[in-house]
Amino acid sequence: MAELKIKCEQPEFIRHLFQDALRERIESLEKGIQRTQERLQEFETKYELSTFEFLRMFANDEIQHRLDMDFDEWIGESRMLRTLQDKLYLLKGVEFFDEIN
């Protein structure tokens, strides 16, 4: 795991600043994930198909792509969910520690 060291005159101020920013970003990602999951649920209900099954069928050309359907948006939402989850995973892995000198 990589480490980042920062030197400054007021380390506790900087620590709290980073922790607050990190906490806010995590909350924002969690809200984005919730909204994206809700949108995916709308597609799943509308087309009576899970997102996983839809993506599998679409990738295997088992579903005809039509302009009047929401397939592009559904695919985009599924990619967005994966991106948001990846970012959240990385941010939740950040640790702050005190260096003893």
Per-residue pLDDT reduced to its tens digit, 35-79: 999 999 999 999 999 999 999 999 999 988 776 678 999 999 999
Among the ranges given (9-13, 31-35, 77-81), the one the predictor scored with the smallest mean pLDDT? 9-13
**pLDDT value of position 101:** 52
**pLDDT value of position 40:** 98
- Residue predicted with more confidence, 60 or 8: 60
53-59's contacts with Cβ under 8 Å and 24+ in sequence apart are none
In this structure, how many other beta carbons lie within 10 angstroms of the beta carbon of residue 43? Answer: 20
Under 8 Å between Cβ of 71 and 58:
yes
Rounded average pLDDT over 82-91: 98
**pLDDT value of position 17:** 94
Distance from C-alpha of 19 to C-alpha of 6, rounded to nearest angstrom = 14
29-37's contacts with Cβ under 8 Å and 24+ in sequence apart are 29/84, 29/87, 29/88, 29/91, 30/88, 32/80, 32/84, 33/81, 33/84, 33/85, 33/88, 36/77, 36/80, 36/81, 36/84, 37/81
